[in-house]
Amino acid sequence: MVNYKVANENLAEKGKEALYVAESKMPVTAEIIRMRFSKEKPLKGITIAGCLHITKETGILARTLKAGGAEVYLCGSNPLSTQDDVAAALVQEGINVFAWHGNTDEEFYWCIRECLKEKPNILIDDGADMIVTAHKEFPELIENGTIIGCQEETTTGVKRFKAMNKKGALKVPLFPVNDAKCKNQFDNELGTGQGIVSAIYGMHVLFAGKNVVIAGFGHCSSGMALRARGLGANVIVTEVDPIKALQAKFAGYNVIPILEAIPDADIILTATGCKHVIPAKAEVFDKLKDNVILGNLGHFDIEIPTKELYEHAKEIKPIRTNVEELIFPNGKKVYLLAKGRLANLVLSEGHPSEVMDMSFALQCLMSEYIVKNKESFKPGIINIPTEIDDKVGSLKLKTMGVNIDKLTDEQYSYIHGYEEGT
Ligand code: NAI
């Protein structure tokens, strides 16, 4: 029996079309790994709960985990990122889904609890909300060894687990899949980088000639800056890390503090994992340029001070789906994308399938690795094995028809030795 709560089961046909499109663009996850998993069933008897953005790409991940023998439960990792058609289609395929677009905070946690009630063995999180809830409300799953390992998909989730671990509060083996090379160097940089077009989808705006402020110069934000520049924008970067700021400066961007950047900004896009990147003060809001577009691509809706902006506005007008015009007491208009939530997922479909292929291939292989090696783990953060990272990279290249060189024995000895010098 499939357990589920989705917005509308009648959307399944449309969802199947979306899944069909993603399948052919994710050959590592949907073909190579799935074929092997179908034969070997490495996840037989294992229940996996994923708290992930319910997109067509996550659907492909769920299909492969199921092909490997797992019972799969899914809930959304953000109240606005669930694609209701995909959720409905997955239910028809026997995936247990508790997710719908626009759920409240209370409903969001209800969905997480429904998944945890099924006593999952592996948790795949995106932002840490499910695993933190397991610690708080389902400690018996951790104490009695039901949960054998956990995987985290995004930077903000990893940051939260590092803080938990430091305090001695992390009680599960936690694999930060986000930190694998095949994840954050591609998914974050290319996927979120291209996510700036969500601002275009949102407002149908021309980037060329605009002053576009990108907050941060990390994995996601450096990709965003590059893409904004490619579209002809005058890109201004803000940072708090001196090395990242230097990298941005040497890459040719104008680097200034956010308060200096605000008055001239036509578009401000954040992806820092930090809070109140635009300071949450009325006097700062009043300095925003008339008609400025504000968009966030970081995990939580606090990078742009959404709540405070709503409070400051004297009028809030929805002008397009998930785009609002905020009219301030001083008469200025501000356009807020996606209620301050991940604009690339809310206004568009999230990352292109091609990059999610690598992220989700890692999630599949890590689930298998956890099952195989479960006896050897201790609670805490455990790095993704390099062999798995490299394996995903090699498979991706193979599916792209790209061949690379191999070290000769002589080169291997040279690189790993010290004798040869001047
Ligand atoms: P990162 O750690 O590589 O980069 C973040 C950068 O922001 C750092 O260079 C940091 O110094 C800078 N920063 C921090 N506070 C700042 C502030 N107040 N002002 C200016 N810069 C500041 O992190 P990454 O991987 O780029 O992730 C950023 C956020 O995006 C996270 O919340 C992550 O979970 C999220 N994310 C979103 C995705 C999406 O689909 N929209 C996909 C992947 C990650």
Q: In this predicted model, what pLDDT tens digit does every residue of 66-100 receive, in sequence order?
A: 999 999 999 999 999 999 999 999 999 999 999 99
E strand or H helix at 360: helix 353-373
The alpha carbon of 218 and the centre of ligand 1 are apart by a number of angstroms equal to 6
CA–CA distance, 241 with 192 (Å, rounded to integer)? 20
- Best mutation site among 55, 82, 220, 349 for ligand 1 pocket (most ligand atoms within 8 Å of CB): 220
Q: Which atom of ligand 1 is nearest to the CA of 297?
A: 41
Atom of ligand 1 nearest to the CA of 154: 34
The DSSP bridge pattern shows strands 211-215 and 234-238 to be parallel
Percent of the chain with pLDDT over 70: 100
List of residues 6+ apart from 140 with CB closer than 8 A: 146
CA angle 170, 175, 176 (to 5 degrees): 100
Distances (CA, A) of 386 to 127, 179, 222: 23, 11, 25
Convert the pLDDT of each residue in 123-175 to its tens digit.
999 999 999 999 999 999 999 999 999 999 999 999 999 999 999 999 999 99
Average pLDDT over residues 171-187: 97
The pLDDT value recorded for residue 198 is 83
Say if residue 238's pLDDT is above 90.
yes
Per-residue pLDDT tens over the stretch 249-281: 999 999 999 999 999 999 999 999 999 999 999
Are the beta carbons of 239 and 225 closer than 8 angstroms?
Answer: no
Provide the CB-side half-sphere exposure for 160 (13 A, CA): 19
Residues framing ligand 1 (Cβ under 6 A): 154-156, 184, 188, 191-192, 195, 215-221, 238-241, 244, 271-274, 277, 297-299, 342, 344-345, 350-351
Asked if the model's pLDDT at residue 362 lies above 90, the reply is yes
Question: Helix or strand or coil: residue 92?
Answer: helix
Residue 201: what pLDDT?
Answer: 82
Give the tens place of pLDDT for each residue, 340-358.
Answer: 999 999 999 999 999 999 9
pLDDT at position 209 over 90: yes
**For the chain, what is the mean pLDDT?**
97
Distances from the Cα of 202 to the Cα of 231, 251, 307, 353, 405, angstroms: 16, 28, 20, 21, 44
Q: What is the pLDDT of residue 200?
A: 84
Rounding to the nearest 10 degrees, give the CA dihedral for residues 390, 396, 400, 402.
0
Amino acid type, 192: T
Instruction: Output the pLDDT for position 289.
Output: 98
- Assess whether pLDDT exceeds 90 at residue 235: yes
Look at residue 130 in the predicted model and tell me its pLDDT: 98
pTM, entire model = 0.96
Is the pLDDT at 202 greater than 90? The verdict is: no
User: Ligand 1 pocket check: which of 77, 192, 284, 360 to mutate, most ligand atoms within 8 Å of Cβ?
Assistant: 192
In the sheet where 254-255 sits, what is the strand order? 254-255, 234-238, 211-215, 267-270, 292-296, 333-337, 323-327, 315-320
- What is residue 152's predicted lDDT score, i.e. its pLDDT? 98
* Cα distance between residue 190 and residue 370, in whole Å: 28
- Name the residue at shortest CA distance from atom 35 of ligand 1: 298
Q: How many CA atoms lie within 13 A of 238 on its CB side?
A: 21
Q: How far apart are alpha carbons 368 and 70 in whole angstroms? A: 10
What average pLDDT does range 205-221 have in this prediction?
A: 97
Measuring from atom 33 of ligand 1, which residue has the nearest CA?
155
| pLDDT recorded at residue 43 | 98
* 199 pLDDT tier (thresholds 50, 70, 90): confident
Buried-exposed string 190-207: b where 16+ CB fall within 10 A, e elsewhere: bbbbbbbbbbbbbbeeeb
CA dihedral 246, 251, 252, 254 (to 10 degrees): -40
Measuring from atom 3 of ligand 1, which residue has the nearest CA? 218
Which residue in 304, 303, 337 sits closest to 321, CA to CA?
337
Residue 106 pLDDT > 90: yes
